[in-house]
Structure 1
């Protein structure tokens, strides 16, 4: 069986992996603010798309229903991202991870 702690570091820099981070926790800590930002941007675009679809449906029942569904999904996505942001803050505070105190880049 392969022990991943014994895999040779081939990046040429001692103590830093090929990804530039020392371990998985630091990599997640580095990527997390960007993931929240990208997901928020995607949510905003999806919400705008739903609003545009609602305005251009011209009273068509199927178009209005599809647009309302898009807007509902965008709002649900916002709630999920909001809750996950505060869960990350909460668990960061419990486990003493200082990097989560200011998560916005």
Structure 2
């Protein structure tokens, strides 16, 4: 009991003291304002290809895993159905990723985002 109490007590003595930031009162130079900032479109533009790449790799792994489960089912009907379900879900996932990609491209053309996906 005392060991648990000893582990929780140091966290209770933590004191947060605000520290002034260097240059907090300095105005922003005009050059930084003219360069433009990062907006939500830029963030989405840089993250979507990464998300689609990760989804494609993950779905490929699920296809391989479903095939492995099918091969190692040894004729068990329940295991075969489970493997078929895994493969079906992977194929549906690939279809969803492709549809999402084309919808994102369509939305980019509707809203005039020229550099979506490269």
Q: Report the TM-score range of the alignment, normalised by the length of the smaller protein.
A: 0.7 to 0.9
Structure 2 match to 1:42 = 58
User: Alpha-carbon deviations, 1:52-87, whole Å to 9, x = none?
Assistant: 100111111111011000001001101100100000
Measure, in 2, the Cα distance between the counterparts of 1:81 and 1:50. 19
> Any runs of at least 4 consecutive aligned residues in structure 1 with deviations exceeding 3 A, and if so which?
none
Q: Structure 2, unaligned stretches of length 5 or more? A: 1-23, 25-31
Measure, in 1, the Cα distance between the counterparts of 2:38 and 2:79. 50
Q: Structure 1, unaligned stretches of length 5 or more? A: 1-7, 9-13, 16-20
Structure 1 match to 2:97 = 81
Measure, in 2, the Cα distance between the counterparts of 1:33 and 1:99. 12
CA RMSD, Structure 1 to Structure 2 (Å):
1.7
Please report how far the alpha carbon of residue 22 of structure 1 lies from its aligned counterpart in structure 2 after TM superposition: 1.4
Structure 1 match to 2:74 = 58
Aligned pair count reads 85
Is 2:113 the counterpart of 1:97? yes
Please report how far the alpha carbon of residue 51 of structure 1 lies from its aligned counterpart in structure 2 after TM superposition: 0.7
TM-score (norm 2): 0.66
Counterpart of 1:70 (choices 86, 90, 93) is 86
Q: Secondary structure at the match of 1:79?
A: helix
Measure, in 1, the Cα distance between the counterparts of 2:102 and 2:88. 21
TM-score (norm 1): 0.74
